[in-house]
Structure 1
Amino acid sequence: MEYGHLGHSGLIVSRVAFGNWLSGSSDRGEETQIACVRAALDAGITTFDTADVYGDTRAEELLGRALRGERREGLEILTKVFAPTGPGRNDLGLSRKHILESITGSLRRLGTDHVDVYQAHRFDPSVPLEETMEALADVVHSGKAHYIGVSEWTADQIRRGHALARELRISLVSNQPQYSALWRVPEAEVMPACAELGVGQIVWSPLAQGVLTGKYLPGRQAPAGSRATDSNDGSELLAGWLKDEVLGRVQELKPLAAEAGLTLAQLSLAWVLRNPGVSTAVLGASRPEQITSNAEAAGVRLDDDLMAKIDAVLGPVAERDPGRTRESGPTSPGWRLG
Structure 2
Amino acid sequence: MDAWWTNNKDASVFHELIVDAHVCVTTAARSANPIHQQQVRRSLHRLRELIHRPNLSSISFYELTPGCAVIFLLGCTGCGKSLFISTLTGIPEDEAGVGHALQSRTHRFKAFQFSDSNRSFNSDTPVVLVDTPGFNNSDPKLTDESICKSISVWLHEMYKRDITLVGILYLHHATGTPVTAHFRPFVEVYGKSIYSRVSLVTTMQDETNISQPEDLDQLVREGARRFIYENTPESARELCQNVTSDIDVARAEHLKRVVSELTQGLSNPLEDRNANDVGLEGLADEHLELLRRIREESANDGAPTELLEQCKSVRCQMEDVLIQGGQAMSPLVERVKRCLRTY
TM-score (norm 1): 0.31
The answer to which structure, 1 or 2, has the higher relative contact order (CA under 8 A, 6+ apart) is 1
TM-score (norm 2): 0.30
State the structure with more CA Rg.
2
